[in-house]
Amino acid sequence: MEFDLIWQHRDLFLEGVWTTIWLIGTSLFIGGVMAIPLALAQAYKVRYLGRAAAAYSYAFRGTPLLVQLYLLYYGLAQFELVRESLFWPLLKRPEICAVIAFSMNSAAYVCEMIRGAILAIPKGEIEAAEAIGMSSVKVTRRIIIPSALRKALPAYSNEVIFMLHASVIASTITITDILGAGRTLNGMYYLAYEGLITAAILYLVIVFVVDRIFNRAEKRFLAHLVR
Amino acid sequence: MVELITEYGPMVLSGLGLTVALSLAAVALAVLFGIMGAALRLSSNPVSRGIGRSYTTLVRGIPDLVLMLLVFFGGQTLLNNLGNATGRWRYLEISPFMAGSITIGFIFGAYMTETFRGAFLSIPVGQIEAAKAIGMTPRQYMARIVWPQIVPLALPSFTNNWLVLLKTTALASILGLHDIMYNAHQAGRTSQEPFLFLLMAFFIYLGLTLVSDMALRALGRRYALR
């Protein structure tokens, strides 16, 4: 193992860590925001919208993220309409494509989690809210959404880890994330392990930190459920 | 467009066989690793339990593609250094198919560990105690009491793992395996219609998901505990 080379290129790996965190942070945020209305549409069985949300979620959960990413990055570029549009300066950038693909994918998974959490809310909580005169919008805003988000928390920590694992494919569209940094190092010096092992360790550390954060968050937000 | 599909479509479809073969090879390995992992985790020996736990932690901590590349590039070098050092073999090659199926099998083995462990734990202890009481050996009660119940209990979680595994095989295209993903990307490049062929791959994968979802659900109904 050539540890010197890894240390010499620590900036490369730092950039990789930053890119990975930035990529998944942004995608999880956008995906989460998209997921709430999708889940509500499904749980409330809104006409057409509910079905559409279910189909969206199934299709994005039923196909590889790699296909989704390539469709956006390589696929969209073939259309003149896209290349001449206002969004082209954004859509031609791999980072933006990755964020869009990851967000849409994450939304599909998180939507499923929140839907499950909404359906698991005890009827009594909702009836009690109605009994004290809350309108249905108010019940949704004050009772259902906060309760569902809390209950989805343990499953959501898996989604964060899943997103982290999935984000490595960003390196296949020229983005220098953690794996990208490792592959660049290996490519520069014709190495077999160093770059990849460094990447593996960095990912392990991030997973460890994420698990710790979620353990704390669960203790805080789900304290009322601990027996 | 119709011409393009008749020209390149068969190429994309020809990857279907490889995707299915890779998934089946990987899932067979995963079940094997999963049973071993579950046996380790359920063992009364603390060292075995530790090994079992490190296995699942490692897989949860390292992304699949990183492991796959490590096995494909690093494993090759490691294997040949080992061969040279021991003088047993001079050159062995890890094919992309081997690297892909072994890594995916290893990764999903960790998830299957949880599947089998959970299934085993949900069998009431009383049943095993009863089997012991009438004088069955561990081998006998595993074969006659535990196994027949593991299948229906593990099936829902197995289905989930299989669906994720199927999609993970698309990563093997990065190792150069000519699966659906790889062929679709190549067809898109040569025909200059990447969207069309990637969309085709999208629907082939969706079809695979739908078919396995339905098939495994039917199997679940067949084996449902009454």
Range of the domain at B122: 20-178
Torsion from C-alpha of A26, A29, A31, A35, nearest 10 degrees: -170
| Residues from chain B contacting residue A69 (CB–CB below 8 Å) | none
Interchain CB distance below 8 Å, A63 and B194: no
CATH number at residue B173: 1.10.3720.10
Record the tokens describing residue B204, joined without a space: 């082939």
Cα angle at B77 between B173 and A181, to 5 degrees? 60
Question: Would you call B135 exposed, middle or buried from its count of C-beta atoms within 10 A (0-12, 13-18, 19+)?
Answer: exposed
Residues 6+ apart with CB under 8 A from A93: none
DSSP strand E in chain A: where? none
Confidence check: pLDDT of B200 > 90? yes
Which of A2, A56, A61, A63 to substitute to test the interface with B, most B CBs within 10 Å?
A63
CA distance A73 to A90: 11
| Chain A touched by B77 (CB under 8 Å) | yes
Quote the minimal CA–CA distance from B63 to chain A in Å.
Answer: 4
- H or E stretch at A106: helix A94-119
- Asked if pLDDT for residue B149 goes beyond 90, the answer is no
Beta carbons of A62 and B74 less than 8 Å apart: no
Report if residue B191 sits inside a domain: no
Yes or no: say if A66 and A169 are a contact pair by the CB < 8 Å rule: yes
Radius of gyration of chain B (CA): 21
Q: Give the chain B residue whose CA is nearest to the CA of A65.
A: B167
CATH 3.30.365.10 fits A3-225, yes or no: no
B204 lies in some domain: no
Q: Please classify residue A7 by burial: count the beta carbons closer than 10 Å to its beta carbon, then call 0-12 exposed, 13-18 middle and 19+ buried.
A: exposed
What percent of the residues of chain B are helix, what percent strand, and what percent coil, each to the nearest 5?
A: 85, 0, 15
pLDDT by 10s per residue, chain A, length 227: 777 888 888 889 999 999 999 999 999 999 999 999 999 999 888 889 999 999 999 999 999 999 999 999 999 888 888 788 888 888 888 999 999 999 999 999 999 999 989 988 888 988 999 999 999 889 989 999 898 888 888 888 888 999 999 999 999 998 999 999 998 888 888 887 888 999 999 999 999 999 899 888 888 888 777 65
Q: Which residues of A lie closer than 8 Å to B, measured between beta carbons?
A: 59, 62-68, 70-71, 74-79, 161, 164-169, 171-172, 179, 182-183, 186, 192-193, 196-197, 199-200, 203-204, 207-208
- Cα-based distances in Å from B119 to B145, B148, B210: 13, 11, 25
Number of domains in chain B: 1
**Closest CA–CA distance from residue B81 to any residue of chain A (Å):** 12
Q: Measure the CA–CA gap between A225 and A35, rounded to whole angstroms.
A: 24
When CB atoms are compared, the residue of A66, A77, A207 closest to B170 is A66
Tell whether B223 is covered by a domain. no
Rounded distance, CA B40 to CA B45, Å?
8
> Would residue B209 count as lying in a domain?
no
ipTM: 0.87
Chain B positions touching A66 (Cβ under 8 A) are 170-171, 173, 181
Mutation target vs B (from A1, A24, A61, A66; most B CBs, 10 A cutoff): A66
Of B74, B168, B192, the CB nearest to A196: B74
Interface touch B69/A196, C-beta < 8 Å: yes
How far is B11 from B16, CA to CA, in rounded Å? Answer: 10
